[in-house]
Chain A
């Protein structure tokens, strides 16, 4: 009973937050919709290379990656980013953002991305860390690796930087910082955070980069994937100075960070002075990751700026008709589910329906809340995911009810069967939900784009399923088990021990208790109407006679003819 109140408080709090949000902030009572359902803003960008060189297809692919990283990390779900080759020549990038994106998001999309090399001063775990105190009297920094760059301001910014927050992984020019000052930066995956010294080498100083298998000292190919960088003549001398200085320093100051669009993509340590402008980065590379780094470095060698060609409102790609018909279909399906569970589980079916309604209210509330606070947007696949969740949520109840029925078949009384059935069903429900939740978490953190939206919906509905079955269905069933209608197994309750083929049960000392009744009625419980007046064993006459001894059967028949209380009339 207490858990039911807790749930009521939670749901009220959820809806209350929304209502207050609507009144005092910009929340609304309906979730925001994604591009396919609502339309949005389409920005067409023309990438322009700084030196007027030809823009390669790889550079476009890399630019799309960078824009996607910015958009995904800024919390805008379900943006579409494609390349568009016009008949007039040249390739454009088309970014479609759902709804009406704010100016900050639009600015983020059209900024140019830069590749910069900075020396590492210190690094830490990605979360918020304890602030440290700077060295008392700081001389003017002698070079880019000097620890004198770590002023109190820099250290405080660094301590407060939380790279586990996706909002800090957007990159962009604000994250890139001023070139002559130290910055605090996140690893692109959010695995580390760094304090980096002033910029030493610009992306333009890279001539080209490639990946391949490492060539061993004897000239033979080894099994190790590496990325090779060739610098321009300006870059060669700058890189020689940097490697000479860093080689003498202790870890982590012997590392230099490659910063693309304000995020650290790699921070290798210097192993020897490189004076010929040909550097080799080795490490735990696979073929793909080595190629990716090379692609990013090549992009850095030829930075692109984006010119906005057009910025227009576009309508939903799916007609509003699609959504309406889809919802109608879902509704018809739900009614069928309700009918089916009523046929299968009789009155217990109402528990299923009530639970699904509660789950629906919580899911709707959470999605609306998240679309207000986190910018979550509901797409058509998301709607479909929720409709599928009906099945998975209802399955928890079905597993639970079937377990309770199994326990009733074993001859337990209803309250005991609910208790025992719950104990077993809970294990199953937790195990299977854990698997679903794991899928959601892994896909959410590792995937991008639409898959991410799907993972979010899956995780959300799994959690709602757990909350509903724990805080609503189970407590409700405990309460119902105490009522006469369910507790005594009315024919329409769906828990009729007779229909479930329950057996009478031997409870010791010569007593057999008919199925479904309480063995030892508690002081507060209803009187056990089926036990005989004299407390002698009483066996209901509907039980299978083959299981009784002849003497028992005769005694039962005799008593039944005398008994004033007939079980069937109760």
Chain B
């Protein structure tokens, strides 16, 4: 039964019987994410983003005296001339159509006008063309960016206060930027045009990424709140336990969030073709996967790396490791087999957890 195996897996992750050294192997994940970032930036630079009419403006055709106001012939006519452009078709009044396309050169404008006239069976003279400016002007972008900066500053302050560690806030921001760059880069790789819906998708990803990171960090905070008051585990080990303990939650949440989005993406991409729905669903689909990845593999490891520089944490880690190496001599437990888990009643913590004799070992050469 899948569910019972899943819950057994969850149990083992909780108690630490099974544990993935996500923080321990953080260099590996940093490499993976650096590679992803590199690919994204390359895609962004090489392929670039294709702005939609809303950002770049373009050409507008007005068809008057149309008897059939179906929108599809216009879409097909434009696609034949400028396949990259996603036209917006709307009915104006009762018998005219308005078709907006991306930027076209003069020859394309003439060809499109002829194609549109042919598609609707009207004389070419009834198709008038003009240029339109962007409706998502520079001021909309600048105001959105200003809002974003204010939000990021505020959220950093709030997280620093809430987690009582500014380094965790910084780690959350690193994860956020990581998600954003990869999402935008992969979107550029797919090559669909960037519409306002895409931008809104990217903004949603910001919110989702921060949200996901906060949930994982809250468990990290809970596990490491008293890290300095115990001598058994290091900060890194307790943080790793937190990631493992929230792993089931992370998987369940991302599956639940991705199901509707992939539904929209599937229908949008394969049944509807280009459009708002497809753009936003793709942005969300990539962003959610990357967001879940970063909340598990990037956020906490970065927080651990950063916090390892705190003097108190540094001293504590050194002390725990030294004590453990000293124990290894007497108890014979290899250091890498230390089991980090929730303290569950009745679990045997190994001989190392038993009270030890304070007397020095007997001198050798004497049988008891």
Contact = CB atoms under 8 A, between A and B. Distances in A.
Given A318-B275, A398-B253, A547-B346, A447 B264 contact: no
A387 interface: yes
Contacts of B249: 395, 398-399, 402
Interface in A495-533: 499-501, 503-506
B350 interface: no
A359 interface: no
A434 B151 contact: no
Given A312-B93, A442-B150, A501-B15, A344 B130 contact: no
A344 B276 contact: no
Contacts of B69: 315
A134 B280 CA distance: 57
Given A333-B264, A388-B261, A442-B154, A394 B253 contact: yes
Contacts of B275: 318, 322
A439 B344 contact: no
Contacts of A399: 215, 249, 253
Interface stretch (B195-203, B232-240, B307-315, B352-360): B195-203
Interface in B119-152: 128-137, 139-140, 142-144, 146-148, 150-151
A56 to B, nearest CB: 14
Contact of A435 (B4, B139, B203, B214): B214
Nearest to A57: B133
B260 interface: yes
A85 B88 CA distance: 18
A451 B199 CA distance: 8
B147 A447 contact: yes
A53 B267 CA distance: 52
B143 A381 contact: no
B299 to A, nearest CB: 13
Nearest to B151: A442
B253 A454 contact: no
A326 B263 CA distance: 9
A341 interface: yes
B60 to A, nearest CB: 7
A280 to B, nearest CB: 25
Interface stretch (B5-13, B37-45, B180-188): B5-13
B133 A84 contact: yes
A220 interface: no
A65 interface: yes
B84 interface: no
A212 interface: no
B133 A438 contact: no
Interface stretch (A108-116, A232-240, A406-414, A561-569): A406-414
B252 A398 contact: yes
B351 interface: no
Interface stretch (A24-32, A75-83, A266-274): A75-83
B177 interface: no
A446 B142 CA distance: 10
Contacts of B143: 446-448, 451
B92 A312 contact: yes
A39 B275 CA distance: 16
A217 interface: no
Interface residue SS majority, chain A: helix
A330 interface: yes
Nearest to B69: A315
Contacts of A288: 142
Best-surrounded residue of A83, A91, A341, A381 (most CB of chain B within 10 A):
A381
Contact of B136 (A325, A326, A445, A450): A450
Interface stretch (A14-22, A197-205, A360-368, A425-433): A425-433
Interface string A311-329: 0111111110110011011
Contacts of B136: 449-450
A409 B11 CA distance: 7
Interface string A451-471: 100100010000000000000
Interface in B193-211: 196-197, 199-201, 203-204, 206-208, 210-211
B142 A344 contact: no
A361 to B, nearest CB: 17
B344 A503 contact: yes
Contacts of B301: none
Nearest to B57: A82
Contacts, number: 293
A325 B257 contact: no
A369 to B, nearest CB: 23
Contacts of B12: 501
Interface in B79-111: 88-93, 98
Given A384-B280, A501-B8, A392 B211 contact: yes
A493 interface: no
A68 B239 CA distance: 49
A163 B252 CA distance: 46
Size category of the A interface is 35 or more
A443 interface: yes
Contacts of B20: none
Contact of B218 (A39, A313, A334, A432): A432
A115 B252 CA distance: 57
Contacts of B151: 438-439, 442-443
A391 interface: yes
Contact of B245 (A82, A390, A406): A406
A87 interface: yes
B265 to A, nearest CB: 8
A328 B267 contact: yes
B129 A390 contact: no
A426 B93 CA distance: 53
Given A392-B208, A439-B207, A330 B260 contact: yes
A36 interface: yes
Contacts of B348: 546-547
B227 to A, nearest CB: 18
Nearest to A62: B139
A499 B4 contact: yes
Question: Could you say which of A394, A395, A436, A543 has the most chain B C-beta atoms within 10 Å of its C-beta?
Answer: A395
B282 to A, nearest CB: 11
A503 B214 contact: no
B268 interface: yes
A411 B344 CA distance: 8
A216 interface: no
A86 interface: yes
Contacts of A391: 208, 253-254, 256-258, 260-261, 288
Contacts of B298: none
Given A424-B222, A435-B158, A384 B284 contact: yes
B154 A438 contact: yes
A551 B120 CA distance: 93
Given A330-B264, A387-B261, 6 more contacts: A388-B204, A395-B256, A436-B211, A438-B158, A448-B139, A451-B143
6 contacts: A312-B93, A385-B204, A391-B208, A449-B136, A501-B8, A505-B346
Interface of A: 36, 39, 42, 61, 64-65, 68, 80-87, 91, 94, 288, 312-319, 321-322, 325-326, 328-330, 332-334, 336-337, 340-341, 343-344, 346, 380-381, 384-385, 387-388, 390-392, 394-395, 398-399, 402, 405-406, 409-411, 424, 427-428, 431-432, 434-436, 438-439, 442-443, 445-451, 454, 458, 499-501, 503-506, 543-544, 546-547
For the complex of A and B, 7 pairs with smallest distance between CB atoms: A391-B257, A333-B260, A83-B133, A446-B147, A333-B263, A501-B11, A315-B91
